[in-house]
Amino acid sequence: MQKQDKASLHPCITKTTFIKCVGLLILLVNFVPGDSQSHPNLVDYVCDNENGNYTDNSVYQDNLKTLLTELASQSASSSFQNSTHGVGSNKVYGLFSCRGDVSLPFCDKCVQAAAGVVFSGCPKQKEAIIWYEQCTLRYANRNFFAKPETLPWVVDNYRIANASDPNNFERVLSDTVDPLITKATVDKTSHAFATGDAALSSSLTLYCLVQCTPDLTGDDCYSCLRYAFDVSRLYDCCGGPRLRLFILRPSCQVMWDTTRFYTVKPSPPPPPPLPPSDKKDIGYYLIRAGIPAAGALALILCAIAIFALLKKRRQQNPEQHSEIQPSVIQTDRNTRDALQFDMETIRTATSNFSYAKRLGEGGFGPVYRGTLPNGQEVAVKRLSENSGQGDREFANEVNLLAKLQHKNLVRLLGFCVEGEEKLLVYEFMPNSSLDRFLFDPNNRKYLDWQTRFRIIMGISRGLLYLHEDSRLTIIHRDLKSSNVLLDEEMNPKIADFGMARLVKMDQTQANNTTRIVGTHGYMAPEYLMAGVFSIKSDVYSFGVLLLEIISGRSNSLFNKSLGRDSLLSRAWRLWNSGDVMELVDPTLGTDVSRDEVLRCIQVALFCAQEDAASRPTMASVVHMLSSNSSDFRPSAPTPSYSVTMDDNRPGSHELDEQNEPHYANNTGINYRTDLYPR
């Protein structure tokens, strides 16, 4: 009996200590994933061939070895570090970033492993990125610090079971990841890292993680994460909604799995209790603090009451807001009535703007896929509420597209306005936009040369219609790859007429504006510098777009990644050296028409000349592109100049006349491209 009593007092048998042991076990379970693997898990690595190679025993190689040694020596005491070594063209930039939940010893192990991959995986490459599940290591001969870069990217989805209920999965995934993106970009204590989980079902939990490199600003981190998360679904890159997907990009990562893969760090201990003090003093200070606080609270409550009253009045008088006024939509009443949808039809078509129907995020709001009562599929662009910025563009797009009909222009089916809601309804384009194929390594293979040339011809004919063949003369002002949509047969349609201008004067006459709109890298120099625009501004944009289609490279990304050098600059340099075929996208292989390619490059350079008067009209462009003569050789175009933008002084433009021209864009770019026009 005595022995039994002693046994009953065993430390893990008593009630109190039993509870402690259970708590300890739960804590241990929460800490399993992050460092549980004995070795870091290599996902993939990318060697950038665009920046060239270095040779054995070169200064660059020595600098790279020294830099990697320095970075590896710092990984035991820091989860993020960037550094440089060398000067001039031999200067090497490098950084490592470990996942926010990984311990420093494991971070050190991961960085050491990544450094070992550099010389075996990317021998003699001047730029490379190595992705492990727990860390990223990258280096280059250019400064990429504090820049939100989303390309190249890799996906790790070795467990490929699809979600059984895609709609529920998309909803839970979005409801979990969206707040994490906000937390990682707004909460400074998060260090650009956030994790969270949510129940998919009674037996399945979804675990999510987002992270940026800590050197990004909050806005840049948001752009990177938002793009990575949205594109992971828009591309349909992985055969449907995956229960596990890791999207790894140079500057940010988005991960989710139904098995916890990260470490849950314990909450910080509560602050110590306040030391006792004199009650009179406490009351005195409470009164002093309370009086102004109460006053501020009263003001806030008054403001809320006034706002609620105004909102209620608007709701009681919907007719003041639900009818499009003739001064806004400048078409005849019959046309306006035929184009106008009622809100209930749109809500039904989009399942009440269900997230499962969401196609992407445009410049002024999200775009949804819908099905009208007659079975027709549509794309619905929903302008953000109270978006004063979009009012002019909304009316402009309706007014113009209602009067235009061409097979290479996107068709506006109608619009809807109710209260603060503004909606545009377009024909649905199943292959989204050109940039989704052109700038994605996985999708570019679907663009063979025949398809690209057909797209080029379609865009040129669409512009010709706008400039000369329609009843109106319209300048688009924002022609770019994301504003070219593709139908089921990959035929192009020009979209987004929110920035377009209708001109009634002679087509060669220039116009002036103080409101510069468009996208850097595509805007003509005279428009960017002085606000002067004409149909030749569109011709310049077409020239840049033509070079992008030929090369498979984004002009904006080219500037961002290669410093001052631009796609246009490289095209001129290769043209002058006689090596212009090097500009052609290598994924095309040898299955290209050399004559067509050369003709397209020549036309692109003609279009992108400095002098607007020297650029051809779109009628001439279509004629040159359509010429079947193998000896068709237009005279050599005139090189363009360089425009250097100072990030710290918005609006300041510096002309740089050079023998070797380039058009540089150092203003930073928005990596969130639109699936449908803004």
* Cα 84 from Cα 66, distance rounded (Å): 10
CA dihedral (87, 89, 90, 94) positive or negative: positive
Q: Report helix angle 594-607 to 449-464, nearest 10.
A: 40
Alpha helices in 513-593 (DSSP H): 525-530, 535-551, 555-561, 567-577
* Cα 257 from Cα 226, distance rounded (Å): 18
* Cα 241 from Cα 167, distance rounded (Å): 9
Do the Cβ atoms of 235 and 443 come closer than 8 Å? yes
**Phi and psi (nearest 5°) for 81?**
-160, 140
Give the pairing type, strands 135-140 and 92-98.
antiparallel
* Cα 162 from Cα 160, distance rounded (Å): 6
Q: Report helix angle 218-234 to 166-186, nearest 10.
A: 170
Which residues touch 187 (CB under 8 Å, ≥6 apart)? 194
272 CB-side CA count, 13 A: 3
Do the Cβ atoms of 70 and 83 come closer than 8 Å? yes
Q: 53 - beta bridge partners? A: 125
Q: Both tokens of residue 287?
A: 């009164």
Is 511 in a helix, a strand, or coil? strand
Is 131 in a helix, a strand, or coil? strand
Query: How far, in whole angstroms, is CA 634 from its chain's centroid?
Result: 38
Q: Which of 534, 545, 537 is nearest to 506 (CA)?
A: 534
DSSP string, 337-355: HHHBPPHHHHHHHTTTT-G
b/e per residue 593-612 (b: at least 16 CB within 10 A) = eeebbbbbbbbbbbbbbbeb
Amino acid 54 reads Y
Which amino acids are annotated catalytic? Answer: 478
Residue 559, number of CB atoms within 10 A of its CB? 26
Do the Cβ atoms of 184 and 225 come closer than 8 Å? yes
